[in-house]
Structures are given as C-alpha cells and as structure tokens.
Structure 1
Amino acid sequence: MSSQPPVVRIGARGSQLSLAQAGQMQRRIAAALGAPPEEAERVAPLIVIKTSGDRIQDRRLLEVGGKGLFTKEIEEAMLAGEIDCAVHSMKDMPALLPDGLVIAAVPEREDPRDAFLSREALTLEDLPQGARLGTASLRRQAQSLHARPDLDVQMLRGNVGTRMAKLEAGEFDAILLALSGLRRLGLDGAAKSFIDPVERPPAPGQGALAIETRAEDAHQPWVKALQHADTTLAVAAERGAMAALESSCRTPIGAFSQLAGGELSLIVEALSPDGKLRYRRQGAVNLGPMTAGEGGGEGALAAARDLGLRLGAELRDEAGDSIVLPE
C-alpha cells in the first residue's frame, strides 16, 4: 500500500541556519496538519534548494544582484509547483515579490538585535584603534563606522560557522552577526555583547521569519497557525520604511518597531555608506482596538505599514542620494 503523498513541501536553503529555521516551521506545520512529530518529514518534507546567494561567497551581494539572490531559485520552484511554501529570513526578503507569491505568515520573532563577537573586546567601543571588523552588511558597516570611524571594516561572507571560525583564526578582531541566528543554532553564548536596537537599529525584519506561499494558498489553515499578530505589525512598519527608502543592498538602513499597549513605535535610520552621515526618524501610531483579531486586522496592518512609509519617505527626502552606494 502506497504512503500518503506529502501535504506541504517546504523549500529552504541548504545552510545550517536555514535548515534549523525550516525545521522549526516544519514541526509547527506538521502539528497544524494534525500529524505527530515523528510524521513531520512525511507530511511536510524539507526540499533543499541551493540559491545564487549561497553559491557566490567572494563578493558582496550588492555586486551581483542584491538580497533577492537568497530567494530567486526557491521562488522559481514555488511558481513551478515543485514546493508549496518557503521559509526565509525576513531580512533577506526584497520589498517586491514576484507576481503570484505572497508573504502569507510571519511567526513570532526571535530577538532582533545584532550580536558583537570578539576574541578579547567586550563591545565595539572597546576595540583598539584600526581594529578589523568583519561584516558583509552595508548597514552594519555604516553604523559601525559612524560610531568608530577608525575601524578597518572588511567583507565577511559565509555561513555562521564559517564566520565564527575566521574570527577565531585571527582574520578579524570582531564580527557582527544577527543574534536570532545564533540563538536558533544554540550559539548565542559566543556573543560578547549586544547592539542596542534603538541606538543602532537592525535590518528591517531582522529576527523574524517569512513564510512565503503562492497567493492562492495564503489562507490555508496551516498557514494561519504560524501567524503572530504583534510580529506581523512590527515587521509591516519596518518593511514599509524599507519600501519607501527603496532599500537594497546599496542602501544602509535600519528599522526597529515595537508594539506595547496598543501603540506601535518605529525608529528608522539611514546612513551614508561611509558612516559619516546619519539620518533618523521616529514615530508611533495608536492601533487601539485594531490590534484585536488574527494577524492584527487589516486596518492595523495598513496603519503599521503607513507609519513606515511616512517615516521612510521623510528620510528619503532629507537624505537624497547620500545614502546610496554609488555603482
């Protein structure tokens, strides 16, 4: 007798972190489908898809096409009907998605802060003059140089383990990584300190996951089971700012949103790539009773995004091209 065919095929990158994140969602999807944990791989199998972003390790993403390189092949597989959903890091998601695909659910967010790792220094401020800081993020580069113009910021690509090994080998004096990734891998104990998200906001959506599906599948019950209302609203505000700033890997911006007592606050900053110029805006919107209901309600979601769009547009008008890395 043949086994029951898969119900939900999950596409994911092959990195250790991607598989850890997808594995967490696989167990939750299986539970939503009514399957016990031991049946997770049968009812929600993981399909590993290597992306261009994984293959290209010797250059910044901005040099070869931007953050969409981490999603392109996975999205093509979804549109071709080879997978049913994908689990992405939200900060890797471009502002615009291909026609026919949507971010259908945003699970509860992990800690959005950046983590500071070093063999000796406890904080960025403790590093010696001219210390070598490793990062592939233009935002982290600009924010770090704004605080410490003397630093020698060098490109560091690769998965979490590769980056930590290069630090340990002495190739860098310090590196910056997303705390959420370290936690999902059980490596957060390696961090010496954490970056204040108000002083230096993380990437829009950092710490959150995006469950991407075809538009016609977005309202499936298993999708709704993954949704977290407060995270959805915070991410909507941050990505609204990103969209207004037309952010790509060529634009260093950070955004940090929190929901407390029905009020959604947002801090957005944009910097010149060399860190010399920094522009900031902050604001809030009272969502009140709109926060009730699954996913926060459409009215709350629109208000959150509008807050981000407004603050992002103000920054864009003030900063102009000074925040865009020349081609």
Structure 2
Amino acid sequence: MRTILVGSRKSRLALIQSRYVIGALSGLSPDFDFQIRHIVTKGDRILHVTLSKVGGKGLFVKEIEQALLDGTIDFAVHSMKDMPAELPDGLEIASVPVREDARDMFFSRNGASLEELPSGAVVGTSSLRRAAQLLHFRPDLRVQSVRGNVDTRMAKLKNGEFDAIVLAAAGMKRMGLPELKTAEYLPFGVSLPAVGQGALAIECRSGDAELKALLKKINDEETAVTVRAERAFLKKLNGGCQVPIAAFCECKGDTGLALTGLVASPDGATVLKTRLEGTDPDVLGTQAAGELLARGAGKILSEFSN
C-alpha cells in the first residue's frame, strides 16, 4: 500500500476541501493510504495587509508547490482561484473535480441587500475584483479591506466593524455555515467571479503517473474545460491580484462554450467586459482577453500593476 502525503493549509476550509478529495479517492482504490501534511503559506502569515500589496497570485500556493517539488508531499488541493496562470516546471493540475457555486455572497449586519445599504455604508472584502465591481455598482459605498478566515470575517461583521462583507459562495457551502440563510447571492452582472472560483485544483508532480491516473478518476470534464478557458483569459492578460480581473465560462450545447471576461480599474470607474462564444477553451480565453486589451485593458494593467 502506498502512502500518499497531501499538502494542505491549516484553515478550516482548506482542510474540508482536502478531506473531501481524500474521501472521494479513498472509495476508488484500497491501495492507497492518505495523510495530510499542514503547510503555512505567505498568505496565511501576513494578515494585516491587503492581498494586492503582498505579492498577488501565488500567495497561498508557493510554499505548497515547493513541498511538491521537494517530494515532501505528493499532491495538494488548492482553491483554483488562488492558482497563478503559470505553474512551475514539473508540476501540473492533474484533476479538477466538479465545481461548486461560483457566485459571490453578500452578507449585511442588519439583513439589508446590496441595493438597500445606506450611502456611505462600509463593505469589507479582501478582493480588488469584488471591490471594483461593488464600487461600479454602488459608488456611494465605502469599501475596506478585511483579511482572515471566514469565521474571523463573519465575527468582524457581527461586532460592527463592517456594515456588510462579501465572500465566495463555494467556501460557505462547503463549510455548511448557517449564515447562508441571511445571504444575498450577487448576480454575475453585479459581481463576476474570480477565474476558477468555486473549482478545486489538484496539483501533483508531472512524473507521478500512478497518482495522476488515480486523480483523473475524480476529474469533471465540464469543470476542467470551462476553467481552462478562464485560465487562458488570465494568462493572456498576465494578471495577478493588483488589477481586478474576472471571468466565468459555461457550456453551451454539446461542444460550445461561452466566456464572460472583465478587467476594471481598482476604483471601479472603468469596467471593460466582453462575452464570446467558441469551442476551444484556450482559443476562447485568449480571444476574450485580446478583445479587452484592444479596448484599453492594457492601459489599466500597466497603470495599476506597478
């Protein structure tokens, strides 16, 4: 029996996601024993600064990827939205399980909806993408950074530090939190999700054929293809966390895909959005990004990425 070492951050959500994958794999073969190894990432250590100021994409994966390259773990379960567009040589995303809800969720202290919040209300989010879209929709709101895990953020809302906060629906659902009953799901027209939001990325070493064959058994092809289009969009833009970038792809018919992509200025004053259809995920994502670059996204990226 082979022991498979699974690298995971220590947060409750990260462990739930890792155990979910281990549970799915354990039912497929009796030849593997799974053990979780806790890894602390830079994003976990630095909690007092907004993500965009600490280094952008990769904050929650670099230490885990190094452990993969060093051979101290065999695979890792990431939130796909944390994954940089480029992976280190020798590593690959071997499996993408079925996607959870990709929408953002809005929680207010007194039950008000986003439209009902009074002018000047303070909304907390750690995401420039969410902040820009919120300010575009409601420029009269004040958006402030909030870091920490889900429990910490909900506590800050309840004790009055914020009038509202925005979180990913996928994490809330995976954690089974009762606060879902008080939440408002934000439509994509108000808050388009991050690339890969709601999906998991199972990363391992490219040369581990035995493990890759096992991981492939829990791959969801529809999720993998749509996320691939979104990541092609991100790669073409060469985007990190310094500029608001969003994308969501869905299947249309048997082979068709439809991708909505967005690039915005951090203050929400400028929002560039496109929707294209196609059949090849890499071509579709690249074309959508190219269209936005031609319409001025390059200027936004160069101005705010420095």
Pair 1:81 & 2:101 matched: no
Who is 1:21 aligned against? 17
Residue identity opposite 1:108 in structure 2:
V
Q: Percent identity among equivalent residues?
A: 46
State how far apart, in whole Å, the 2-side matches of 1:256 and 1:157 are: 24
State how far apart, in whole Å, the 2-side matches of 1:313 and 1:87 are: 31
Who is 2:199 aligned against? 208
Pair 1:165 & 2:143 matched: no
Secondary structure of the residue aligned to 1:275 is coil
Among 122, 132, 141, the residue aligned to 2:131:
141
Among 227, 237, 246, the residue aligned to 1:254:
246
Q: Deviations over 1:45-89 (max 9, x none)?
A: 111111111010000122121121200111111111111100000
Among 166, 169, 172, the residue aligned to 1:182:
172
State how far apart, in whole Å, the 1-side matches of 2:30 and 2:183 are: 41
Residue identity opposite 2:242 in structure 1:
R
Who is 2:223 aligned against? 231
Residue identity opposite 1:266 in structure 2:
L
1:294-305 equivalences under 5 Å are 303-305=280-282
Change (3 A) 1:191 1:137: farther
Residue identity opposite 1:159 in structure 2:
N
Q: Deviations over 1:83-125 (max 9, x none)?
A: 1100000000001111111111110000000000112243211
Q: Deviations over 1:148-185 (max 9, x none)?
A: 11111111000000000000010000000000000000
Moved over 4 A (4+): none
State how far apart, in whole Å, the 2-side matches of 1:218 and 1:173 are: 50
Quick check: 2:52–2:128 contact (8 Å CA) kept in 1?
no
Quick check: 1:67–1:93 contact (8 Å CA) kept in 2?
yes
Structure 1 position 5, deviation (Å): 5.2
Secondary structure of the residue aligned to 1:225 is helix
Quick check: 2:97–2:200 contact (8 Å CA) kept in 1?
yes
Quick check: 2:95–2:218 contact (8 Å CA) kept in 1?
yes
Quick check: 1:104–1:218 contact (8 Å CA) kept in 2?
no
State how far apart, in whole Å, the 2-side matches of 1:236 and 1:213 are: 17
Q: Which range moves more in the overlay, 256-265 or 274-283?
A: 256-265
Secondary structure of the residue aligned to 2:218 is coil
Aligned-pair Cα RMSD in Å: 1.6
State how far apart, in whole Å, the 2-side matches of 1:198 and 1:176 are: 15
Quick check: 2:250–2:258 contact (8 Å CA) kept in 1?
yes
Secondary structure of the residue aligned to 1:266 is strand
Q: Which range moves more in the overlay, 250-259 or 183-192?
A: 183-192
State how far apart, in whole Å, the 2-side matches of 1:253 and 1:66 are: 12
Q: Which runs of 5+ in 2 are unaligned?
A: none
> How many pairs does the alignment contain?
301
Secondary structure of the residue aligned to 1:211 is strand
Quick check: 2:123–2:162 contact (8 Å CA) kept in 1?
yes
Q: Which range moves more in the overlay, 160-169 or 315-324?
A: 315-324
State how far apart, in whole Å, the 1-side matches of 2:282 and 2:137 are: 30
Quick check: 1:12–1:47 contact (8 Å CA) kept in 2?
yes
Q: Which runs of 5+ in 1 are unaligned?
A: 36-41, 288-302
Residue identity opposite 1:117 in structure 2:
F
State how far apart, in whole Å, the 1-side matches of 2:6 and 2:98 are: 19
Quick check: 1:116–1:194 contact (8 Å CA) kept in 2?
yes
State how far apart, in whole Å, the 2-side matches of 1:57 and 1:67 are: 15
Structure 1 position 126, deviation (Å): 1.1
Quick check: 2:41–2:62 contact (8 Å CA) kept in 1?
yes
State how far apart, in whole Å, the 2-side matches of 1:275 and 1:107 are: 33
State how far apart, in whole Å, the 2-side matches of 1:279 and 1:204 are: 16
Quick check: 2:104–2:186 contact (8 Å CA) kept in 1?
yes
State how far apart, in whole Å, the 2-side matches of 1:45 and 1:190 are: 34
Structure 1 position 199, deviation (Å): 4.1
State how far apart, in whole Å, the 1-side matches of 2:201 and 2:170 are: 14
Q: Which range moves more in the overlay, 259-268 or 105-114?
A: 259-268
State how far apart, in whole Å, the 1-side matches of 2:240 and 2:209 are: 26
Who is 2:264 aligned against? 271
Structure 1 position 205, deviation (Å): 0.3
Q: Deviations over 1:289-323 (max 9, x none)?
A: xxxxxxxxxxxxxx112101110111122222225
Secondary structure of the residue aligned to 2:259 is strand
